[in-house]
Amino acid sequence: MEQPIEVSLEEAFHGTTRVLQMTDASGSVRRLEAKIPAGVQDGSRVRLAGQGMPGTGGGQPGDLYLSVHVYPHHLFEQRGDDLHLKLTIPLTTAILGGEVEVPTLNGRVMLRIPPETQNGKSFRLRGKGMPKLQEPHQYGDLYAEVKVILPERLSERERKLFEEFARLRPASGR
């Protein structure tokens, strides 16, 4: 037997349990608690041995397979054991460098942004991705792609500073 089951990315990260109600051929309902291990991915199958339908001719029950679907997340995209994130940073941090807070599924971490970081640059945070299903205590990586936020509603002084910057550095130069 196969039963679809849906979990959030947080549940896939930490592992979870689900209570299922199964109706057998005679119409009786039984409740079943299923443990979903940490590190499952969209399309994973979780085997529950002996929890399927009874075999033909009164044989032993078969296995029940849970077909896992992981909901899309508002911040992270899961690709195997790795997570990908769009990390917005201010223009000043991209130019001058600094530290920014990066969300992970296990809390927040600080990331040092080097001066003159270009829009679209990706940083790898080793071990901050999804737990590896078959390798306990090992994790994939988190890739944070920088998206620079341009300032809006500049003050007169800010506008003048940008105009001066434009005079110092021609548009064609890097």
Among 42, 48, 30, 39, which Cα is nearest to 11's?
A: 39
Domain with residues 2-70, CATH architecture = Sandwich (2.60)
The encoded tokens of residue 25 equal 């051929």
pLDDT tens readout for residues 139-166 = 999 999 999 999 999 999 999 999 998 8
Just give the CATH number of 76-168.
Answer: 2.60.260.20
167, pLDDT greater than 80: yes
For residue 16, CA distances in Å to 6, 41, 83, 156, 170 come to 11, 13, 19, 54, 56
103, pLDDT greater than 90: yes
Q: Which ranges in the chain are annotated with CATH 2.60.260.20? A: 2-70, 76-168
pLDDT for residue 132: 93
In the structure, what pLDDT confidence band is assigned to residue 30 with cuts at 50, 70 and 90? confident
pLDDT tens readout for residues 49-100 = 888 877 777 778 888 899 999 999 999 999 999 999 999 999 999 999 999 9
In the structure, what pLDDT confidence band is assigned to residue 173 with cuts at 50, 70 and 90? low
Average pLDDT of span 92-112: 96
Strand stretches in 8-165, DSSP E: 16-23, 29-36, 45-48, 64-70, 76-79, 82-90, 98-104, 107-113, 122-125, 142-149
pLDDT for residue 22: 80
174, pLDDT greater than 80: no
Which carries the bigger pLDDT value, residue 58 or residue 130?
130
